[in-house]
Structure 1
Amino acid sequence: MRLKTAFLSADDGLLMRGAFFGLLAAAGVFLFVDLREMSLASAELPGHDPMTTDAPVLPPALTDGVPQSSPVEPESSPEVLRQPMRFELLPGGTLKAEGSIDLGAADRFAEEIAARGEYVKSVSLNSPGGSVNDALAMSTLIREKALNTRVATKALCASSCPLVFAGGVAREAEEDAILGVHQVFNAGQEQPSPEQAMSGAQSTTARIARHLDEMGIGNGLWINALETPPDRLYYLTPEEMVEFKLTTAPVATAEQAD
């Protein structure tokens, strides 16, 4: 029986907590193995940083067979999504955050929020992810300012982006919004030793799990992320978003629109 199935089916609170933290410890080992494989595969590339995954903007889904594509094609091009995150104030107090979560994105986001004062009410995300530290900082600020978060139709929120999304007081994914998770870890400036890599993976895993718990997100979201390699995405269904408490508003459907 897989760890996820055992964890989700447990009824005893103590057993659930023990299983979850056992999974966190095991996750560090799995991430270390992934890191070693990436390092060996890229050993002949000068200057390559094995902690940085040059994965596609929209990786294939994790399946038992041939990887599948995303549920729908994102509206924005890969070139737009790869650009460093930029911010645009839209009508109605919505701040659009689009592009990769590069190092320093959280500082620029904080400056935008400070400059806009009380006008900003919600943050609309369209991002393939990026820096975990910046994503966590943005998410924390969003919750501190009691802002809402949204992923629009055919917008993308993947990798570390759902961490930002989780910060919203109210969280809405519109119909055909693309949300996906996978293993994430911080990129280092230098190639880490095996011990540093494992320690960093476990530390990052624990920080993310603690943050999601503080934001009120169900454990199932992060468990699916831990089971998905960095070059794949676990695409979330609208039902799973509700189940994991990632969304707080019903996802619109074509039938409801009619």
Structure 2
Amino acid sequence: MRIDEPIKALKRLDDGTAMRGVFYLLLSVTAIFLIIDVRNMETSPKLSTPDPAYQIPFLPPAGTKGDPSDAAQSPSSPAEVLNKPMTLELGPGGVLLVEGTFDPGASLRFAREIEVRGEYVRTVALNSPGGSVDDALAISKLIREKSLTTKVVSRALCASSCPIVLAGGVERLAEKDAVVGVHQLFNVSNVIPAADEVMSTTQSATARVARHLEAMGIAAELWFNALETPADRLYYLTAKEMADFRLTTTPASSSRKRS
């Protein structure tokens, strides 16, 4: 019997306590496999202390295999735009475009923008391959505090830690052919941390994200898909899944179907 079969069976339960129990079981299994990988690579040199909250952004479908094999649409923005540090541009209708990687410190720039021009901002449009989890969490919380709307337009990218920001909107929209994907957390550094550090940082970061998504009203199943997807892949979300997980609040049609 595959290890994920009892987990998938328990996911169908409606009881919230049971779902949280499954989540922490899956987290424990993930941490165990990370420890095994680390112990197999302990001969590699340790160069410095890594930042466990920072993820390497990468683009689908290049450099990754999703589930299904690739995204239904490729992002319209080129790699050099998506991989640059986060930029902010206020456009017509109070739409603030947040584009590029959530580099460490991105949340401070976002907060300054809201402080200076927040009265004009109504919607935060996202086009990002992800990045710093801590910054994504901070941006998401500020968006909810200010009662802003979030959206991902057609063929824009919102991957890795970006859906955490999307979750912050009071109203949340992913247009048809928006590319939205999730996966496990991982470090930006090539450093091999100690096994106990892997356990501690993985549990801490994952728990913080899970608690935030729960506070935002997002279903736990969204994070199950992230935990089940290796860091070098993306799980692409369909419009139906985003609605079912309450990641989106406004229905959007989609030509994509899970086989």
Tell me the TM-score normalised to structure 1 length. Answer: 0.86
Unaligned runs of 5+ in 2: none
Give the conservation status (yes or no) of the 8 Å contact 2:58–2:129. no
Q: Over aligned residue pairs, what C-alpha RMSD do you find?
A: 2.8
Candidates 44, 48, 65, aligned match of 1:61: 65
Provide the C-alpha distance between the structure 2 equivalents of 1:108 and 1:122, rounded to a whole number of angstroms.
17
Counterpart mapping for 1:242-257 below 5 A: 242-252=243-253
Provide the C-alpha distance between the structure 2 equivalents of 1:186 and 1:55, rounded to a whole number of angstroms.
11
Paired residue type of 1:57: L
Provide the C-alpha distance between the structure 2 equivalents of 1:209 and 1:102, rounded to a whole number of angstroms.
21
Unaligned runs of 5+ in 1: none
Offset of 1:136 from its aligned partner?
0.4
Give the conservation status (yes or no) of the 8 Å contact 1:129–1:157. yes
Distance 1:225 1:36, change over 3 A: farther
Give the conservation status (yes or no) of the 8 Å contact 2:57–2:101. no
Provide the C-alpha distance between the structure 2 equivalents of 1:197 and 1:57, rounded to a whole number of angstroms.
25
Identity of aligned residues (%): 51
Provide the C-alpha distance between the structure 1 equivalents of 2:55 and 2:161, rounded to a whole number of angstroms.
13
Offset of 1:117 from its aligned partner?
3.0
Q: Which moved more, 1:181-190 or 1:94-103?
A: 181-190
Q: Deviations over 1:173-225 (max 9, x none)?
A: 00100000000145579653221121000111111110000000001100000
> Where does residue 240 of structure 1 map in the other structure?
241
Tell me the TM-score normalised to structure 2 length. Answer: 0.86
> Where does residue 19 of structure 1 map in the other structure?
22
> Where does residue 162 of structure 2 map in the other structure?
161
Give the conservation status (yes or no) of the 8 Å contact 2:239–2:253. no
What secondary structure, in the 3-state scheme, does the structure 1 residue paired with 2:76 have?
coil
Q: Deviations over 1:216-238 (max 9, x none)?
A: 00011000000001110000000
Whether 2:199 is the aligned partner of 1:198: answer: yes
What secondary structure, in the 3-state scheme, does the structure 2 residue paired with 1:123 have?
strand
* Structure with higher RCO (Cα < 8 A, 6+ apart): 2
Offset of 1:245 from its aligned partner?
0.4
